[in-house]
């Protein structure tokens, strides 16, 4: 293995030989953690401001650090910054450039902190920003979902259990189920954010620092809700990242379920929806194909996010206190999860405006599964028949309709009366799809009036 001068490392004085190139490549994280550069600079500026306030560094040092960091920010943002693998990570790259620009003031910046609490702070800042972006995108998805739900508030479709026709619902009511799921997702991310928003900086390597620092000041500067109160825990735990991945896995599971339905509904055997061409692809060999690639990919990417959650749980399960190099492996699963969730939310929010219902196919499907059978049973119960007897009578009626190749409303009155003398002329109002929908007129029910009321409540919750 070739070896290079390792004097660029802040810890090089302890070692008698330089780091090998192989180890350098194996241990470096700058290729993926450089995305936290904004958070690293923000954290360093707040730390420097606290050091100056406490008299640990001079006011001129603070001014030099702020001036140098402004230039570093501009260089990175413009793409002129030269990232170096030799400097391991985002933190050393920025500190080295700062020191080159402002001299000794840059070397004083690291007083009273360690890379252990620095990286923990950067991750929390980055994750807090990411959660805010996710919450905004969930809301955008929900707003567009509600527009479609309102358009289809009274559109009948088969509601299914076991993927078999069960009872009539409206398409708007079906869509609102995904509003409720994503509303809980929002609550989980917002709750996770509370535990993310705790400042680790000041824990230093693991035991705190001998300098008279003011952690509460830094927390206020960075908008944290509080500080991590145990220095060992502050630098070593990543439960906030695991919690984020768990919330992300649940959100992706909800979108995977929606994706599965969109794939089914777009199939000609269902034909319940059209998805705009801009969200679909064709086939390299079959010219007639229009493939729902976006839902299919979201369904596949859910496994990727689930894998990241398991990776982080496994990463942490055997670590003794305090910080271990294992924790460098926390970032790639975390970053990949965030990227996947953000991309999925953006495209699904847009795709909601590209979904068109096909009501005639939904209605036709309702004639193929005896969707109003439960309504007939309820009708007989209201006439005085015990439910179990009503259930048996309707089962026999369904069998007769199946033998004749007709739906229940198409059975003549005389046929229906063979199964119960309680059946009267009013039964056909009960057996219509519209009658079935209208009868479920209660909070959470699928009656169009209730669907519209639910949409109004959903908008107020946003």
* Contacting residues for 416 by C-beta, under 8 A, at least 6 apart: 397, 423, 427
Of these residues, 2, 16, 78, 162, which one is catalytic?
162
Residue 226, classed as helix, strand or coil, is strand
Query: Taking the CB of residue 45, how many other CB atoms lie within 10 A of it?
Result: 19
Give phi and psi for 205, each to the nearest 5: -70, -45
* Contacting residues for 233 by C-beta, under 8 A, at least 6 apart: 321
Q: Which two tokens stand for residue 260?
A: 């599965």
Per DSSP, what are the bridge partners of residue 355?
275
User: Helices 239-266 and 331-351 sit at what angle, rounded to 10 degrees?
Assistant: 30
Give 270's DSSP letter: T
User: Helices 115-151 and 37-53 sit at what angle, rounded to 10 degrees?
Assistant: 130
What is the SS3 string spanning 127-153?
HHHHHHHHHHHHHHHHHHHHHHHHHCC
Residue 47 bears catalytic tag: no
Residue 162 bears catalytic tag: yes
b or e along 248-281 (b: 16 or more beta carbons within 10 Å of the residue's beta carbon)?
bbbbbebbbebbebbbbbbeeebebbebeeebbe
Tell me how far apart the alpha carbons of residues 262 and 279 are, in angstroms, rounded to a whole number.
12
Residues designated catalytic: 162, 283
């Amino acid at each position: 293995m070739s070896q290079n001068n390792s004097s660029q490392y802040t810890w090089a004085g302890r070692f008698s030989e330089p780091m090998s190139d192989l180890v350098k490549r194996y241990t470096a994280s700058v290729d993926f953690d450089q995305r936290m550069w904004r958070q690293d600079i923000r954290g360093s500026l707040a730390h420097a401001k606290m050091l100056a306030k406490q008299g640990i560094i001079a006011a001129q040092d603070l001014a030099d650090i702020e001036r140098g960091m402004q230039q570093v920010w501009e260089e990175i943002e413009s793409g002129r910054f030269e990232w170096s693998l030799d400097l391991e990570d985002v933190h050393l790259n920025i500190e080295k450039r700062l020191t080159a620009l402002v001299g000794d003031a840059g070397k004083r910046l690291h007083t009273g902190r360690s890379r252990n609490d620095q990286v923990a702070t950067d991750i929390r800042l980055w994750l807090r920003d990411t959660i805010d972006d996710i919450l905004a995108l969930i809301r955008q998805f929900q707003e567009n979902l509600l527009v479609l739900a309102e358009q289809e508030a009274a559109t009948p479709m088969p509601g299914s259990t076991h993927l078999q026709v069960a009872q009539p619902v409206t398409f708007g009511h079906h869509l609102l189920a995904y509003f409720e799921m994503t509303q809980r997702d929002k609550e989980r991310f917002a709750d996770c954010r509370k535990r993310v928003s705790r400042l680790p900086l000041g824990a230093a390597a693991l035991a705190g620092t001998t300098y008279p620092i003011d952690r509460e000041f830094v927390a206020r500067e960075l908008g944290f809700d509080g500080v991590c109160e145990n220095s060992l825990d502050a630098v070593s735990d990543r439960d906030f990242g695991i919690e984020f991945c768990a919330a992300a896995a649940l959100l992706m599971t909800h979108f995977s379920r929606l994706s599965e339905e969109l794939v089914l509904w777009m199939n000609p055997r269902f034909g319940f929806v059209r998805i705009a061409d801009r969200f679909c692809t064709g086939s390299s060999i079959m010219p007639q194909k229009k493939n729902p690639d976006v839902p299919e990919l979201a369904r596949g990417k859910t496994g990727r996010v689930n894998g990241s959650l398991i990776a982080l749980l496994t990463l942490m399960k055997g670590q003794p206190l305090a910080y271990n190099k294992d924790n460098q492996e926390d970032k790639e699963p975390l970053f990949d999860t965030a990227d996947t969730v953000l991309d999925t939310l953006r495209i699904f929010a847009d795709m909601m405006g590209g979904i068109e219902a096909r009501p005639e196919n939904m209605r036709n499907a309702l004639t193929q599964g005896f969707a109003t059978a439960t309504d007939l049973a309820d009708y007989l119960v209201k006439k005085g028949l015990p439910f179990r007897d009503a259930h048996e009578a309707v089962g026999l009626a369904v069998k007769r309709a199946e033998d004749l190749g007709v739906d229940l409303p198409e059975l003549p009155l005389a046929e229906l009366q063979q199964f119960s003398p309680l059946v009267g002329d009013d039964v056909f109002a009960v057996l219509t799809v519209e009658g079935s929908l209208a009868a479920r007129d209660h909070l959470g029910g699928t009656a169009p009036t209730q669907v519209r009321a639910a949409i109004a409540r959903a908008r107020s919750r946003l």
